[in-house]
Amino acid sequence: MKPLHMYLNAITFCAPGAESWDALCALFNGADFSPPDDWRVVPECLSGRTARRVSPQILLALTVAERIGGSLPEDAGWVFASSAGEGETLQVILEMLSTPDMLIQPLRFQNAVHNAAAGQWSVAAKITGPMTSIAAHKETVGAGFMKAALQVALEARPVGLVIYDVPFPEPLDQTQPLGLPIGAGFALSPDPGPATLAAVEVTTCDSEPTTAESEIARALQATGNPVAAALPLLEKLAGGDRADIVLAIHGGGALQLRLEPA
């Protein structure tokens, strides 16, 4: 694969006990990690009524998107990457299908598809650029970065990458335990700017995925949430280090991100 080049201009992170990028950086430096049991995040771009009608997956995805949205132009591309998608909506539909009447609200069908979060974001933020939703099970982080890097390089277009996963309700959670909801966002561009944090060269390789170094990163990876695969990358970005980060991608091989701090 010919190397692809892009620039990272904004980062965000959102999880119980680590509700922002600054909070995650503090955890990297040894702050106590105490995730609350009743954690819920609500994006500012949704009204209270709308927020009550959508799933935790959509709420997390939109929170991440709006935090990096200010660093992207209106016609930017967007990539939403989630291994699980609409777990709660799927659970509700399955429960309703098991009843005699099988009465399912139309809004549930609308939000059952994997691109529901991207669709809700396009409406809430009046997005005019292209949007993509992808899933690659445990390799979703690598797949998200590959898609975003290709779009940045080939279309010369800024791209917002939103990676998120929320645990399924029971009993679906038994099929793929995710532990904690985790979301991460990256504002990427083809050219550097005054807010650029790092230059990133992307290529494929045959190396093993980079392992996490900090206690908090290892703890989040141990939850089983695929988004935690981004933690080694976030560790290096927090430290402002020049580094090569390897992410697993579906079908074998790996994706290498070479970071050069701005």
> Which residues are within 8 A (CB) of 101 and not within 5 positions of it... i.e. 6 or more apart?
none
Per-residue pLDDT of 44-96, as tens digits, reads 998 888 788 788 899 999 999 999 999 999 999 999 999 987 766 776 767 67
Per-residue pLDDT of 213-222, as tens digits, reads 999 999 999 9
Residue with tokens 């609409």: 86
Q: Alpha helices, DSSP H only, in the chain?
A: 21-28, 48-53, 56-69, 87-97, 106-110, 116-124, 140-155, 215-222, 231-239
Segment 207-234 mean pLDDT: 96
pLDDT in the model for residue 106: 61
- Reference 62, options 51, 71, 73; nearest CA is 51
For 2-6, 63-67, 86-90, 148-152, which range has the lowest pLDDT when averaged over its residues?
A: 86-90
pLDDT band at 251 (very low <50, low <70, confident <90, very high): confident
- Please state the pTM of the whole predicted model: 0.92
> Which residues are within 8 A (CB) of 112 and not within 5 positions of it... i.e. 6 or more apart?
86, 89, 90, 93
The rounded distance, in Å, linking the Cα atoms of 26 and 238 is 9
pLDDT in the model for residue 261: 95
Residue 171 preceded by cis peptide, ω within 30: yes
Name the more confident of 14 and 109: 14
Q: Looking at the 3D structure of the chain, how many domains does it have?
A: 1
In terms of residue numbers, what domain contains 37?
A: 4-261
What residues form DSSP beta bridges with 43?
A: none
What average pLDDT does the structure give for the chain? Answer: 91
Q: Return the percentage of the chain with pLDDT > 70, whole number.
A: 90
The rounded distance, in Å, linking the Cα atoms of 160 and 187 is 5
Query: The domain spanning residue 79 has which CATH number?
Result: 3.40.47.10
Per-residue pLDDT of 19-47, as tens digits, reads 999 999 999 999 999 999 889 899 999 88
pLDDT in the model for residue 176: 81
Res. 208: pLDDT tops 70: yes
Res. 109: pLDDT tops 70: no
